[in-house]
Structure 1
Amino acid sequence: MTSPPSHARAVIIGGGIIGCSVAYHLARLGWTDVVLLERKQLTSGTTWHAAGLIAQLRASQNMTRLAKYSQELYGQLEDETGIATGFVRCGSITVALTQDRREEILRQAAMARAFDVEAFEMSPAEVAARYPLLNTDGVTAGVWLPKDGQGDPANIALALAKGARNRGARIYEQTKVTGIHRDGKTVTGVDWETDRESGYTTCDMVVNCAGMWAREVGHMAGVNVPLHACEHFYIVTEAIEGLTRMPVLRVPDECAYYKEDAGKILLGAFEPEAKPWGREGIPDSFEFDQLPEDFDHFEPILEQACARMPVLENAGIHTFFNGPESFTPDDAYHLGLAPESTNVWVAAGFNSIGIQSAGGAGMALAHWMDTGERPSDLGDVDIARMQPFQGNRHYLFERSKETLGLLYADHYPFRQKATARGIRRSPIHRELLDQGAVMGELAGWERANWFANPGQDSAYTYSWKRPAWFDNVAAEHKAIRTNVGLYDMSSFGKIRVEGPEAEAFLNHIGGGDFSVPPGKIVYTQFLNHSGGIEADVTVTRLSETAYLVVTPAATRLADQTWMARHIEGRRVTLTDVTAGEAVLALMGPRSRDLLTRISPNDFSNATHPFGTAREIEIGMALARAHRVSYVGELGWEIYVSSDMAAHVFETIMAEGADLDLKLCGLHMMDSCRMEKGFRHFGHDITCEDHVIDAGLGFAVKTDKPDFIGRAAVLTRKQTGPQSRLVQFRLTDPEPLLFHHEPILRNGEIVGHLTSGSYGHHLGGAIGLGYVPSKGESAADVLSSTYEIDVMGDRIPAEASLKPLYDPTSERMKA
């Protein structure tokens, strides 16, 4: 047996289906010097015991594209490699047992139509006809996806491995990586050992595909890969007479899935409270192992399953299986270039969907490694979304108890995680709680999303209809539109850019013109070379050599990482100062009145115009007032050092009482920004959405000599938009919109909503979404009739390219 080479272009660590897929796709791109190192045997960690369900529909369009790619790949691997993958398109059925779940799956079916996935709604009788073994008592609806399938996980992985070898990749089993060498942020090579020898391989890149070992491998490479293994249970029955091929069946209300396999039934579970495993480390000998049985833990699932599928009552159990799988803090896998490194890539943490994801994830990562650009928006799974604290072992242990079960829990709008909470808090967190704040969590930050009235339960209730707190948000919304409101924006990312070349640096990476005087605020985007949007930011010039970049809370690390990778030797430093300042947003037509009561400074248009920031006195403290707005009203964002935040909050609240000041939450902010047509990064604008198509060309100054994406912007300005981001308002005030609802233009599906909310001022649900418009004028786009598909019902919608609320921005600039 040969030894690993002394050098490789890429070293892949881990020989499960993910590592094999990355090796296969790199080799298919012509990378012949790819080395895969597997500590034991291929598939011996998690892949070998996976259930092998291969579905098409995922929670976003790009994740669905990757899942569909996996299916297409697995369908052709056998012909390419001669290894049977067992892939069959048997279809899948998901059934609902409640009215809430019925709405969820019917909304998913509508979403599938927007994503070009065949999906058909089913009545209980139709479910029974297609799956006669099922007891349909209590079934409220079903959804049939005929092109879903199943396969043999181990053989799919081995086929990918053979395909990789056939194209020149080298795979070494029984070869454990024992160390990773670094020079600053760059990995230079890996130590490895076998039972015969040890050695060292230098490399240009490392890919961490180590599955449930990925966190520890990440530590060796100096990168954060937050995940934790959990026990995952299933049983396989003895052969059942007469049982033939059946669709995959999911009954999420009973936490169960069913798969026919060679005349037997596999019953698996995603129970509400999982059992984390391996907190103190995974045994070095682990190979094709299973964990001890825990029948008491699984028994409630089995009891419900026997009632739901009576044939199980008399079927013997051939196998009771318990094996570990890794789960991430948000139930999305990790993919991409690690923020802490220049050449460590990650593909791990697949949350029980590794088989159906592996083909697409491997393809996407290989493309990214080869070109340096993402093939599509991968923000849902980009490893850069993970915050440093999320690698904490105790945090992962507590959060993983919940994340496994969330796979089959009701996916209500605004559902909040219940575990591992309270970690990152605003300086006025306690004050907000005392005022009735109901907290949500984002990137670990506790954020006031809405405020309960006195005597009202200050907790979330979840529903697909109007929740109990719907009227609370409506009242907050009204305060912002008609009077004055205060909300906490402290969680938003704040990155200080300093140095003698700060101006030149920002002018290179940003579309706006940053050659402005101190105190000027620039709203703009950071673009990629295709004109896609990498970040949506406001940048305030603080001095000749210092700027403050403000980003969404969830993307602060990703945005700072992107900036750092483009410094290219310039005399610039980047510092995360998010925790150093609280931000209190005071918004509404009477916000100026309130500020003049608590500050001696002049807030008139002449002295403090829109788009500028000034140092102010407020109460007995010092602060900086930024005149900007994300809700479309006159207002200021007050930046105050964390030590003085409580004093400023108390000062505002005391003086605001006479003006009926209302505390507001971020649900209000989201609905107000949508009425104003303001974009939300990650939903309405992403790295694959061209800045011109997004209607943000005004924020890009092409008269600058050069900046990333300039050529793409000029080209698109000449050709015109290929699509347009349109604002919609349902004419029926009753239905609710969230996102991903299909857009119908003249009766045909042309896209989907990128975001949705309720426009309390406009009197109906509102949303944003792209409409293809190549060669069309704005008038052409608006001359059509539009409908939005809500659970299969087509609801007429008003369409506009200008904001439906205050289209000329007179209110913000009053």
Structure 2
Amino acid sequence: MKTHVKALVVGGGAVGTSIAYHLARAGWDDVMLLERDELTSGSTWHAAGLLPYFNMSYATTHIHDYSIKFYKTLEAETGLDAGFFVVGNLRMAQTDVRMDEYMVYATTAESCGVPYEWLSPAQIADRWPLIRTDDLKGALYHPTDGYINPADVTMAMAKGARQRGVTIERKWQVDGYEWTGSEWRVTVTKMVERGGNLVPSDERRVITAEHVVTATGNHAQRTAWLLGIKTPAIPVEHQFIVTEPDPALVDWRKTNGQHPVIRDADAKWYVREERGGWILGPYERNAPARFRHGVPDSFRADLFPLDLERIEEEYMSFIHRIPSSEEVGLKDDFNGPICYTPDGNPLIGPAPGLRNMWLAEGFSFGITAAGGAGHYLAQMMVDGEAEIDMASLDPKRFGAWQTTDWAVAKNEEAYEHVYILHHPDEERPAARPLRTSPAYDRQAKLGAQFGCVNGWERPNYYGPLDAGPDFDHDARSFRRGGWWQYAVEEAKAIREGVGLIDATAFAKHRVTGAGATAFLDRLTCNKLPKVGRINLTYALTTRGTTRTEYTIVRHAEQDFYLVSAGAWAAYDGDFLQKAAEDFMAETGQLVIVQDVTTQWGVFAIAGPKSRAVLAKLIRDADPGTALSNKRFPWLSARQIELGMVPVNAIRVAYTGELGWELHHPIEMQNHLWDRLMEAGAEHGIRPVGARAQNWLRQEKSYRAFGNELGRDATPLEADLPRFVDLTKDFAGKEAMQTLGIRSKCVTLLVDGPDDADPWGREVLYTEGGERAGRLTSGGYSVAFGKSIGMGYVKPDLAVEGTRLKVKMFDCLWEATVTCDSPYDPKNETIRKDG
């Protein structure tokens, strides 16, 4: 066994072998993989081997697409048949709403170049007569995927890895990780068979590695414990059954190829053929999480007892859909652990707080994702960044506040929701509310309907207080849902009067120390603000793309307050801390980074009457001028008093109206909320939720991190040159300039359907039918009375007046590139004096 390697991959399932293979293919010639048992002995061995394209995530769609294409190349490279049966994937719909879901998904797939077809019930019955179609609305068909043998594809990737120089060692368990400051010391123990169990021997070794990747599947909790971090990756039971041969299927096969994989999403199951019979895999309610504190040593390639009562409903619906299966007996059953995360997507990327430690955990669809995960993670490790934005899969999207009980509840919910309608505005209820700002109860009494951001409860909109018992506050839709009319009124309130938004979930960091100025000046691409002023700026990746966005408030020469997106608090904090450590090691100058998110609440007050509301509360020697442009100009910050509350006030508004952000001690939040609502009563103040705010910021072309801003586009491609100071040196500058302008961010006004708006995941076409780009945000504009969206197009199309087409609900709708900040392009409203 080697004792020093460049990269050590821990875990020999499909994900681990793919990572080892792709690291070697990317040029790393000293890679070793360790497996505590045998290759494929984890969840890989009992996986059903399906390769579904379907996923609402742009990044995950790319990952699945890469896997499906990559697996088809393995036999030519390795000589091993990967067991890929390209039989197609038929996803059926029993309702019009389900067809809406497929159409929302399909436009995202189209933006990634994924082929698909629409089929009517008659077409389904004609091509696959074993399927009952009289109660179907239609189906989405992917002709290029199907299913694969998990063990075969894993062994093919393992052989490909060995051919490229990877060393694979079996029966070695990792028992300790130690970072020396330049490399990892990994303690491993030889595992031996004893009485049918796998137990540690007395043989131990230490391996040093520059990089470590963990792909430990069901053992993710043990991995996290060894590393001293938290992870929500916990397995959930997944059972499937295999039937005896179905004579009708066997007869059909005599004159046809293999039957496609079929999914009846409304019935919550998938089915594929297996040796003339069927494999039925349900996603039922009440499937329990397992191994919340780690996998017992006695559990190897084992299974749990089948719980047929739990899947009775799904089994009966399977018989309904394929009537010939009613007389077919059961041949085999499987009930094994599949690792999940709270949102159902894997954890891929750097571990929080650690150097050169990479996680690839929580793969509920591991076979589907393994190829792409290995490819894009290898890009991150070797090149510094992947070609697609992987932030949505970053392990730090779940903060340190997470607990085991929370992860269990959310993972069980994620399992149950595999086939529940995935509305773009869905809000899943499990383990909520958990993180609440003090004003939560006050907002709830006013009709607030909450969303969840990084665990925080945040009002999405405010519903009617006098609603009858039949009013569904949670009414969701792929078109304009029950909440839409209330968001419209809230947006109008800010444009015409005054609104109050709870923005407490914002991530907030304080950066101080003798080296704070030099550190932030190097880290970010814009000029630093003067004392008492603010600036919007970006930190870049090594490839020159946008790593994160900060609003920087400068309180003193070496005292900065950084505000960033609430969903990315742990992501931003980890980045800041590591960058500060690197800066101090290089320069010897002190930089202190503090996460102060939970110390400060934030209210955003905005609208033409916002100054009048604050004027009633401000305590100042000359309250009449305290909020004027002269004393409190746009893009400045001041320490003020509102009633009895000391407030760090920032004159900026994400809505594009006259307004302020009021950062206040969180323990005083209720007092401030009450005073603001009282002072605003005569001005018609209205509490406003995040959905109206999202529409309003698009009218101003304000880019949002995770939408328009991310690790696949530079600030210049986001068309933000005014926030990039090319006269100074900053991290990523040269790489940004080298990339050039590959695409460009634009705002579009859309003449869409009367009952729907874009969600920000739609494909764009030229009038000539060529793919032009994609939307990254979407919604409704109260200022223009039509749909609005933002997105990226080819640079030559990023010209005001360019006419494009946006794909919504399988139709092309007119979309016109408008000017930047179509509402109040000269910022006259936001700069209004008083």
Paired position in structure 2 for 1:356: 368
Paired position in structure 1 for 2:129: 132
Q: 5+ residue gaps in structure 1?
A: none
In structure 2, relative to structure 1, the CA distance for the partners of 1:260 and 1:683 (3 Å cut) is same
Contact kept? 1:452, 1:458, Cα under 8 Å? no
Paired position in structure 1 for 2:730: 707
> Is 294-303 or 277-286 further displaced after alignment?
277-286
Output the CA distance in 2 between the equivalents of 1:164 and 1:546.
Answer: 50
Output the CA distance in 2 between the equivalents of 1:750 and 1:21.
Answer: 33
Paired position in structure 1 for 2:235: 229
Contact kept? 2:343, 2:411, Cα under 8 Å? no
Contact kept? 1:733, 1:764, Cα under 8 Å? no
Correspondence for 2:818 among 797, 800, 803: 800
In structure 2, relative to structure 1, the CA distance for the partners of 1:179 and 1:71 (3 Å cut) is same
Instruction: Tell me by how many angstroms 1:265 deviates.
Output: 1.1
Paired position in structure 2 for 1:677: 701
Paired position in structure 2 for 1:178: 175
Q: Secondary structure at the match of 1:640?
A: strand
Instruction: Tell me by how many angstroms 1:695 deviates.
Output: 1.2
Paired position in structure 2 for 1:578: 597
Instruction: Tell me by how many angstroms 1:344 deviates.
Output: 1.2
Paired position in structure 2 for 1:314: 327
Correspondence for 2:385 among 358, 362, 373: 373
Contact kept? 1:186, 1:341, Cα under 8 Å? no
Contact kept? 2:237, 2:337, Cα under 8 Å? yes
Output the CA distance in 2 between the equivalents of 1:655 and 1:225.
Answer: 45
Alignment of 1:238-253 (within 5 A): 238-241=244-247, 242-244=251-253, 245-253=258-266
Correspondence for 1:394 among 382, 387, 405: 405
Paired position in structure 2 for 1:470: 484
Q: Given the alignment of the two structures, is residue 385 of structure 1 paired with residue 400 of structure 2, yes or no?
A: no
Q: Structure 1, residues 531-590: CA drift from partner, whole Å, max 9, x if none?
A: 311111200001111101101011121122222332222411111000001101110000
Q: Given the alignment of the two structures, is residue 303 of structure 1 paired with residue 316 of structure 2, yes or no?
A: yes
Instruction: Tell me by how many angstroms 1:458 deviates.
Output: 7.6
Q: Structure 1, residues 757-782: CA drift from partner, whole Å, max 9, x if none?
A: 11123211111111102xx385xx34
Output the CA distance in 2 between the equivalents of 1:262 and 1:625.
Answer: 69
Instruction: Tell me by how many angstroms 1:640 deviates.
Output: 0.6
Paired position in structure 2 for 1:767: 789
Q: Given the alignment of the two structures, is residue 666 of structure 1 paired with residue 678 of structure 2, yes or no?
A: no
Code of the residue aligned with 2:824 in structure 1: it is: D
In structure 2, relative to structure 1, the CA distance for the partners of 1:371 and 1:77 (3 Å cut) is same
Paired position in structure 2 for 1:8: 5
Contact kept? 1:522, 1:538, Cα under 8 Å? yes
Alignment of 1:53-132 (within 5 A): 53-132=50-129
Contact kept? 1:57, 1:117, Cα under 8 Å? no
Q: Structure 1, residues 288-308: CA drift from partner, whole Å, max 9, x if none?
A: 211111110111110111011
Output the CA distance in 2 between the equivalents of 1:72 and 1:413.
Answer: 28
Correspondence for 2:356 among 343, 353, 370: 343
Q: Given the alignment of the two structures, is residue 421 of structure 1 paired with residue 432 of structure 2, yes or no?
A: yes
Q: Given the alignment of the two structures, is residue 757 of structure 1 paired with residue 779 of structure 2, yes or no?
A: yes
Paired position in structure 1 for 2:544: 531
Contact kept? 2:549, 2:564, Cα under 8 Å? yes
Instruction: Tell me by how many angstroms 1:110 deviates.
Output: 2.8
Q: Structure 1, residues 684-709: CA drift from partner, whole Å, max 9, x if none?
A: 121111211211111111122x1013
Output the CA distance in 2 between the equivalents of 1:168 and 1:709.
Answer: 33
Contact kept? 1:78, 1:85, Cα under 8 Å? yes
Instruction: Tell me by how many angstroms 1:415 deviates.
Output: 0.5
Code of the residue aligned with 1:475 in structure 2: it is: E
In structure 2, relative to structure 1, the CA distance for the partners of 1:25 and 1:433 (3 Å cut) is same
Paired position in structure 1 for 2:623: none
Contact kept? 1:274, 1:400, Cα under 8 Å? no
Contact kept? 1:272, 1:409, Cα under 8 Å? no
Q: Structure 1, residues 63-92: CA drift from partner, whole Å, max 9, x if none?
A: 222222212221121222222211122111
Output the CA distance in 1 between the equivalents of 2:789 and 2:768.
Answer: 18
Code of the residue aligned with 1:542 in structure 2: it is: H
Q: Given the alignment of the two structures, is residue 592 of structure 1 paired with residue 592 of structure 2, yes or no?
A: no
Paired position in structure 1 for 2:829: 811
Paired position in structure 1 for 2:198: none
Code of the residue aligned with 2:538 in structure 1: it is: Q
Code of the residue aligned with 1:387 in structure 2: it is: G
Contact kept? 1:436, 1:458, Cα under 8 Å? no
Instruction: Tell me by how many angstroms 1:723 deviates.
Output: 2.2
Q: Secondary structure at the match of 1:147?
A: coil
Output the CA distance in 2 between the equivalents of 1:560 and 1:225.
Answer: 17
Paired position in structure 2 for 1:789: 807
In structure 2, relative to structure 1, the CA distance for the partners of 1:626 and 1:587 (3 Å cut) is same
Q: Structure 1, residues 620-663: CA drift from partner, whole Å, max 9, x if none?
A: 22111100111010000001101211111111111111111101
> Is 265-274 or 27-36 further displaced after alignment?
27-36
Output the CA distance in 1 between the equivalents of 2:763 and 2:803.
Answer: 14
Paired position in structure 2 for 1:294: 307
Q: Secondary structure at the match of 1:380?
A: helix
Instruction: Tell me by how many angstroms 1:783 deviates.
Output: 5.0
Instruction: Tell me by how many angstroms 1:449 deviates.
Output: 1.1
Instruction: Tell me by how many angstroms 1:192 deviates.
Output: 2.2
Contact kept? 1:18, 1:209, Cα under 8 Å? yes
Aligned length: 800
Output the CA distance in 2 between the equivalents of 1:409 and 1:458.
Answer: 18
Paired position in structure 2 for 1:442: 453
Contact kept? 2:183, 2:208, Cα under 8 Å? no
Paired position in structure 2 for 1:637: 661
Contact kept? 1:596, 1:603, Cα under 8 Å? yes
Instruction: Tell me by how many angstroms 1:712 deviates.
Output: 4.3
Paired position in structure 1 for 2:710: 686
> Is 305-314 or 29-38 further displaced after alignment?
29-38
Output the CA distance in 2 between the equivalents of 1:595 and 1:251.
Answer: 55
Alignment of 1:125-274 (within 5 A): 125-183=122-180, 187-195=184-192, 197-241=203-247, 242-244=251-253, 245-274=258-287
Q: Secondary structure at the match of 1:606?
A: coil
Instruction: Tell me by how many angstroms 1:616 deviates.
Output: 0.4
Instruction: Tell me by how many angstroms 1:183 deviates.
Output: 4.2
Q: Structure 1, residues 36-75: CA drift from partner, whole Å, max 9, x if none?
A: 2211111111001111112345323332222222122211
> Is 619-628 or 129-138 further displaced after alignment?
129-138
In structure 2, relative to structure 1, the CA distance for the partners of 1:99 and 1:709 (3 Å cut) is same
Output the CA distance in 2 between the equivalents of 1:709 and 1:14.
Answer: 33
Code of the residue aligned with 1:756 in structure 2: it is: G
Q: Given the alignment of the two structures, is residue 31 of structure 1 paired with residue 31 of structure 2, yes or no?
A: no
Contact kept? 1:479, 1:662, Cα under 8 Å? yes
Paired position in structure 2 for 1:564: 577
Q: Secondary structure at the match of 1:54?
A: coil
Code of the residue aligned with 1:374 in structure 2: it is: A
Q: Secondary structure at the match of 1:433?
A: helix
Contact kept? 1:530, 1:709, Cα under 8 Å? yes
Code of the residue aligned with 1:576 in structure 2: it is: D
Correspondence for 1:722 among 742, 747, 757: 742
Instruction: Tell me by how many angstroms 1:713 deviates.
Output: 4.8
% identical equivalent positions: 34
In structure 2, relative to structure 1, the CA distance for the partners of 1:45 and 1:713 (3 Å cut) is closer
Paired position in structure 2 for 1:742: 763
Contact kept? 1:231, 1:322, Cα under 8 Å? yes
The runs of 4+ residues in structure 1 deviating greater than 6 Å are none
Paired position in structure 2 for 1:510: 524
Instruction: Tell me by how many angstroms 1:714 deviates.
Output: 4.8
Q: 5+ residue gaps in structure 2?
A: 193-200, 621-625
Code of the residue aligned with 2:453 in structure 1: it is: L
